[in-house]
Amino acid sequence: MVYAFYPGCTLHSQARGFRESTERSAAALGLELRELPEWQCCGGVYPLAQDSLFPVLPAARNLAAAANLGAPFVTVCSGCYHVHKRTNRLIASDPEKRAQLNAMVEASYDGSGEVLHLLEALRNELPAGELAARVQQPLTGLRVAAYYGCLLLRPEDELQFDDPERPSILEDHLRELGAEPVEFAYRSECCGSYLSVSAPQSARRAAGNVLNSARKAGADLIVTSCPLCFYNLDEQQPALQAADYDFQPLPVVYFTQLLALALGVWESPWYAEEHRIDPGPVLARFGGVKAAGD
Amino acid sequence: MLLSVKSLRTEDMRRLAEISGEAVAKCYQCGKCSAGCPLAADADVPPHGVVRLVQLGQIEEATSCATIWLCAACRSCASRCPRGVDLPRLMESLRAMVLRQGSPVLHASQIPADVLARAPQQALVSGFRKLSV
């Protein structure tokens, strides 16, 4: 199936490993991702003040462009998904704001297009068992903490992605790859978000809570679908180690990196410079990935 | 502090209601929002305390709380609130009342160089969206 693919700003810079693993996995599975032409940054966060529409203009423009392609809008970044899904709902449900937005972006979009996260597209195209049948290199014995964070899950009535308190889509996906998801309490707690640029100590504490919870549950690594979660969880670890002798580092990877590895389409380089904590040693036994120093 | 009905009928209260679209009177102060808030440990006033200040018309005090700048709208509170109060919307509206006076809270020059070098655009774009005008 053809999808209007929205990579978002970070996949073209700090999260190249996310982008490449997404593109390789999609190609291997027969999902045709066509990058949306002239897409714009969604703004990262959904505006909550009720008296201005300007902050959702870029998302409205992107959604109208996807509708012109006649393909469902798909993205892998939790932030992009959150902003576009909510904007789409706003356009579909509020005739007055729909008219204003269409006038401003010179479109006539009615909000009827689909906004999907890649996890949803994968589940739709490859129902239970079918992805497992495509796996070349099962991730047997790999204990993975599936981290949702907040942007994928809440507000649940608007996103309708999964149960906000007890989600399972990421764990189901990991089981298809042969990995063993671990249950941990902080999987849908905030990682600190953009506070890493405005209140770094608070962001570090939030990230540390998530990491310690995952480590206590016995995880070998943690997966995310959000470049900001990735940054907060991975980048804070040297400082967390310095502050707490007992802190044990935990590698962080994007869910598509495990998918590409399991599909046998992931080769070196691992984009090692994008990781503070090298996932190489944990993943070396599944082939494809070289540990640092190899 | 002398409270009266007049405290609730101020221009600030009218503006806050307009920006947020929230009816704070719904809140019965159970504190569930504060119990689950991942940033509450660093907050000077717990989230339900900010709601209480607004209920009492104390907008100036509410906009002076560090809490409103720590809320990253993760929505743990809103998803669990038994009264359906949208706290992230309220927090954003309180921030807007300060930011719209023209003074950003986040300045690029105050972000450490190593953070600027490695943080994803998503962090910077989101931060400036939320913490500047």
CATH at residue A220: 3.40.50.11810
Q: What is the pLDDT of residues A49-80, one digit of tens each?
A: 988 899 999 999 999 999 999 999 999 999 99
By percentage, how much of chain A surpasses pLDDT 70?
Answer: 97
B123–A231: do the CB atoms touch at under 8 Å? Answer: yes
**Cβ separation A192–B72 shorter than 8 A:** yes
**Do A198 and A102 reside in the same domain of the chain?**
no
> With an 8 Å Cβ cutoff, is B98 touching chain A?
no
pLDDT(A293) > 50:
no
User: Are A45 and A72 members of one domain?
Assistant: yes
Do residues A159 and A282 both lie within one domain? yes
Question: Of the residues A74, A90, A118, which one is the last residue of a structural domain?
Answer: A118
Residue A131, in any domain of the structure: no
Q: Do A231 and B74 touch (CB under 8 A)?
A: no
- Chain A residues within an 8 Å CB radius of B98: none
Q: How many independent structural domains does chain A possess? A: 2
Q: What is the mean pLDDT of residues A24-38?
A: 97
Domain ranges within chain B, ordered by starting residue: 5-101, 106-133
Q: Which residues of A touch B47 (CB under 8 A)?
A: none
pLDDT in tens, chain B (133 residues): 788 888 889 999 999 999 999 999 999 999 999 999 999 999 999 999 999 999 999 999 999 999 999 999 999 999 999 999 999 999 999 999 999 999 899 999 999 998 999 999 999 999 999 999 8
Judged by a CB distance cut-off of 8 A, whether residue B102 touches chain A is no
Predicted-assembly ipTM surpassing the 0.85 threshold: yes
Average pLDDT, chain A: 94
DSSP chain B: ----HHHHSSHHHHHHHHHH---GGG-----HHHHH-TTGGG-SS-HHHHHHHHHTT-HHHHHT-THHHH-----HHHHH-TT---HHHHHHHHHHHHHTTT--S--GGGS-HHHHHHS-HHHHHHHHHHH--
**Do A67 and A153 lie in a common domain?**
no
From A83, A118, A153, give the residue that closes a domain. A118
Residue A272: is its pLDDT beyond 90? no
| A154 in the same domain as A66 | no
> Are the Cβ atoms of B123 and A8 closer than 8 angstroms?
no
Q: Is residue A289 pLDDT above 60, yes or no? A: no
Segment A143-181, tens digit of pLDDT: 999 999 999 999 999 999 999 999 999 999 999 999 999
Q: Domain limits at A279?
A: 137-286
- Supply the pLDDT for residue A285: 86
Q: What is the pLDDT of residues A225-234, one digit of tens each?
A: 999 999 999 9
**What CATH number does residue A81 fall under?**
1.20.1050.140
Residue B21 contacts A, CB cutoff 8 Å = yes
Final residue of a structural domain among A118, A151, A183: A118
A-chain CB neighbours of B119 within 8 Å are 14, 196-197, 231, 235
Beta carbons within 8 Å of A9's beta carbon, 6+ residues apart: A41, B120, B121, B122, B125
Report yes or no: B13 at the A interface, CB cutoff 8 Å: no
The C-alpha of A171 sits at a distance from chain B's nearest C-alpha, in angstroms, of 21
Give yes or no for residue A268 having a pLDDT over 90: no
Let me know if domain B5-101 sits in CATH 3.30.365.10: no
Chain segment A82-113, per-residue pLDDT in tens: 999 999 999 999 999 999 999 999 999 999 99
A280 and A144 in a single domain? The answer is: yes
> What does the pLDDT read at residue B2?
82
Reference A210, options A227, A223, A225, A197; nearest CA is A223
* Residue A26 within a domain: yes
Kindly state whether residues A192 and A76 are assigned to the same domain. no
Best of B16, B33, B37, B122 to disrupt the A interface by mutation (most A CBs within 10 Å)?
Answer: B122
- Cα A224 to Cα B130: distance, rounded to the nearest angstrom: 23
Residue A294 has pLDDT above 50, yes or no: no
pLDDT number for residue A223: 98
A105 and A186 together in one domain: no
Claim to verify: residue A74 and residue A152 sit in the same structural domain: no
